[in-house]
Chain A
Amino acid sequence: MDLLYKIFLDPFVQMGAAPDLLLQTLWEGLVGGVLYALIALGFVLIFKASGVFNFAQGIMVVFAGLTLVGLFGVISGLGNVNEHVAAFAALGLTVGVMFVLAVGIERLVLRPLVNQPDIILFMATFGLTYVLIGVGELIFGGEPKVMITGELFLPRGSTDWEVFGGFVSFQHIDLAAAIIASLMVAGLAVFFSKTRIGRALRAVADSHKAALSVGISLEQIWVIVWFASGLVALVTGIMWAARSDVSFALQIIALRALPVLILGGFTSIPGAIVGGLIIGVGEKLGEFYWGPLLGGGIESWLAYFIALVFLLFRPQGLFGEKIIERV
């Protein structure tokens, strides 16, 4: 009886007793969820265009973050360079590096494997992950780096909102992350739904052969989506690393996008966003209110549990397409 109370009633009693903490938990979940959505978006873009599950998305987040910090260090070391100028120059150069990476991946990894089964392409992204880890460690070393934030005019500090006899603390960097991520998601959604390239991407997603037959360049589309995915990785890297550090441990967090994808569907941009938010909020509420019952630390598997429960009711995910194959 006591256990049932602890599972079904006590958490809600706690929510009512300290609504400020509930709001804080929801906010932290939303911020985490937005960042999960960004990571998931990187996966979705590439999956839509090529049917490839890009295992390297996580390391791309780390690689982009390390490149930015590394280039900032190099430019700052050149002499009397204003820190903001150096930061934005590094940002521009990092965008360039992500473009070169996209072209390189298309030329050296994807193009030679055209028309191969998806599992081969997946294996190739697995290999790409370890190449990027190795190259990243070779160039930047294994030590964690502090992300540049003030230099990029990203806000610091926090604002406390006094409410329900308590307070909810909003870190300015989290607010910035939520706004920037939302803008980025909206921008990408418009780009891929309203522009010619976006329509081409959707055509490629439907059928490579049909897209080729109407003159759409697969190579060009792949470069664009890998570049877009690289940009998403860069923004994710900046925002997540601003909350901790840029380190190779960050790539593990990218795997948290898997339940988001299970939930939202591998081909749906709205699915990535809504799925990210549900997972982000769900895992924080779960860890905070139900975690102590199970000894804590349940966050890492709870996300998968939530996704699997959803799958029981919607096997195609929240926004995924229901595929019926008749035999």
Chain B
Amino acid sequence: MRLKGLLIGAMLGAMAGTPALAPAALAQDGIYVPLFSYRTGPFAGSGIPIANGMSDYLNMLNARDGGIGGVRLIVEECETGYDTKKGVECYESTKSKKPVVTNPYSTGITLQLIPKAAVDKIPVLSMAYGLSASADGERFPWVFNPPATYWDGLSMIMKYIAGKEGGFDKLKGKTIGYIFFDGGYGREPIPLLEQFAKTYGFDTKLYPVPAAEMQNQSAQWLSVRRDRPNYMIMWGWGAMNPTAVREAARTNFPMDRFLGVWWSGGEDDARPAGEGAKGYLTLNFHGVGADYPAIQDIVKHVIGKNSQTPRDKVGENLYNRGVYNSVLIAEAIRTAQQITGKKLVTGEDVRRGLESLTITEARWKEIGLPGFAAPITNVSCTDHNGHHAAYMQQWDGQKWVKVSDWITPMKEQVRPLLEAAAKDYVEKNTGWPKRTEACDKRS
């Protein structure tokens, strides 16, 4: 009996700790694209719509076009629960199936996979997340983070704030608060924020939110009430976002001075706070809504057939984020096919495809997403990010509304810091390999 109890406990414990792979065919006759997702756990609220958008777009390409260049995509999700350990297990369990690209969908997981990418010849696509410094293609030839780094995001937010105040010189003497998820993701922009504070003479206040306190932020917002910052910037994720928006409303913080990065802008981040969320701002780098031909194709070919997405969730912000991510994957594969002349491309080919990735305005239109996002034109061998523009959106109580033009990042400030950080990373990781990969697209 005792043994039985222990066995049951051990089995259940083991079940809880094992990453779950959705069934898929082996990568023999198709292009294998694993998608690391999190439909369970504390971050599922953010993870589910993104996973839906990513899967649906790729499945739509299979249903509508028979894949890419006539080759079917083998799409397989691996459940990480946003847990770094499970993410690495997902990577190890999918590696043997010859993935052409890895999508970690977590900065913590990305940081673990960066050293593995060059060894296993599988490029890492950490779309607008991960290690900002990995934009340095000379030092990180296997890692890509377009369309913009976290540092770009912060610089765009600062530009927006400066615009509201009448110029960067008007920031002198102001206080800018930064509430962030207390992990690799949230800490990423702090060096740049401190640099900006020094340059422009404003004061910063940091409000870390540990994972265990995501839904218990009253102490942080009491501190906000005490410190009275002129603006609040948020780097939140999962349950942290809606809680922060509610607490900001409860504290009567002016919502049009509360600005989030692009990962803090889901509909379900703002909606639960009701009227109190009105005015809350976040960055975004793609369109919201389902009125795009490609998304209508998803509805036609995938929704209700080969999808977990409820019809009314199609086109929401984080759903479209997933679509955007998959567009990058698909275009990189297509580019790889064009460069190599092969249909069945490998990870090494797709690395070249990512390095030559170009999505012009005309191309966005051609793929059924006219005006969906800023053209991707700056990715190159040296620049794996491109530092593309984003815009500010505002919650009107019901939906996100675009309230700014495209804001370009302060590349001249970001890039030197980023290269210094990349150099520092390489120096700290003794034996980091020098780039040997040839270059198809010089910047």
Report A's interface with B, CB cutoff 8 A: 14, 18, 21, 24-25, 28, 31-32, 112-113, 116-117, 120-121, 123-124, 126-127, 130-131, 133-134, 137, 141-144, 146, 158, 169, 171, 240, 243-245, 247-250, 252-253, 255-256, 283-284, 287-288, 291-292, 295-297, 299-300
Contacts and interface: CB of A to CB of B under 8 A. Distances in A.
A236 to B, nearest CB: 12
Interface in B205-246: 206-216, 218-220, 222-223, 225-226, 238-239, 242-243, 246
Given A126-B9, A249-B238, A284-B219, A169 B40 contact: no
Contact of B225 (A24, A116, A158): A24
B254 interface: no
A25 B222 contact: yes
A80 to B, nearest CB: 22
Contact of B222 (A24, A130, A144, A253): A24
A116 B5 CA distance: 9
B48 A249 contact: no
Given A25-B222, A250-B239, 8 more contacts: A117-B2, A124-B8, A126-B12, A127-B11, A169-B250, A244-B216, A247-B44, A300-B212
Which label, helix, strand, loop or mixed, suits the secondary structure of the B interface? Answer: helix
Interface of B: 1-2, 5-6, 8-13, 15-16, 39-45, 47-48, 182, 206-216, 218-220, 222-223, 225-226, 238-239, 242-243, 246, 250-252, 268, 271-272
Nearest to A250: B215
Given A113-B1, A120-B2, A300-B213, A247 B207 contact: no
B45 A130 contact: no
A278 B250 CA distance: 24
Nearest to B239: A249
A244 B209 contact: no
Contact of B48 (A141, A244, A284, A299): A141
Contacts, number: 157
A202 B268 CA distance: 46
Given A28-B218, A124-B5, A158 B238 contact: no
A289 to B, nearest CB: 10
A137 B238 contact: no
A193 B2 CA distance: 34
**10 tightest A-B contacts by CB?**
A142-B44, A123-B9, A249-B42, A127-B12, A297-B208, A287-B219, A249-B239, A120-B5, A244-B215, A130-B16
B188 to A, nearest CB: 16
B212 A252 contact: yes
A258 B144 CA distance: 43
Pick the most buried of A32, A240, A287, A295: most chain B CB atoms within 10 A of its CB.
A287
Given A296-B208, A300-B213, A32 B8 contact: no
B5 A288 contact: no
A146 B272 contact: yes
B45 to A, nearest CB: 4
A131 to B, nearest CB: 7
A31 B239 CA distance: 20
Contacts of A283: 219
Contacts of A250: 215, 239
18 contacts: A24-B225, A123-B9, A127-B9, A127-B11, A131-B12, A134-B15, A142-B39, A142-B47, A142-B48, A144-B239, A243-B215, A245-B243, A247-B45, A248-B42, A253-B216, A255-B212, A287-B219, A291-B219
B13 A144 contact: no
B210 A299 contact: yes
Contacts of B238: 249
Contact of A284 (B13, B207, B218): B218
B182 A249 contact: no
Contact of B215 (A18, A146, A245, A295): A245
B213 A143 contact: no
B206 A295 contact: yes
A256 B18 CA distance: 26
Nearest to B214: A249
Given A124-B9, A144-B239, A292 B216 contact: no
A244 B6 contact: no
Contacts of A248: 40-42, 44
Contact of B250 (A25, A116, A171): A171
Contacts of A25: 219, 222
Given A245-B215, A296-B208, A113 B45 contact: no
A245 B239 contact: yes
Contacts of B39: 137, 142
Given A130-B15, A137-B40, A248-B44, A296 B214 contact: no
Contact of B5 (A123, A158, A297): A123
A247 B215 contact: yes
Given A127-B12, A297-B213, A288 B272 contact: no
Nearest to B208: A297
B8 A297 contact: no
B15 to A, nearest CB: 6
A187 B397 CA distance: 41
A25 B1 CA distance: 51
B222 A296 contact: no
A18 B212 contact: no
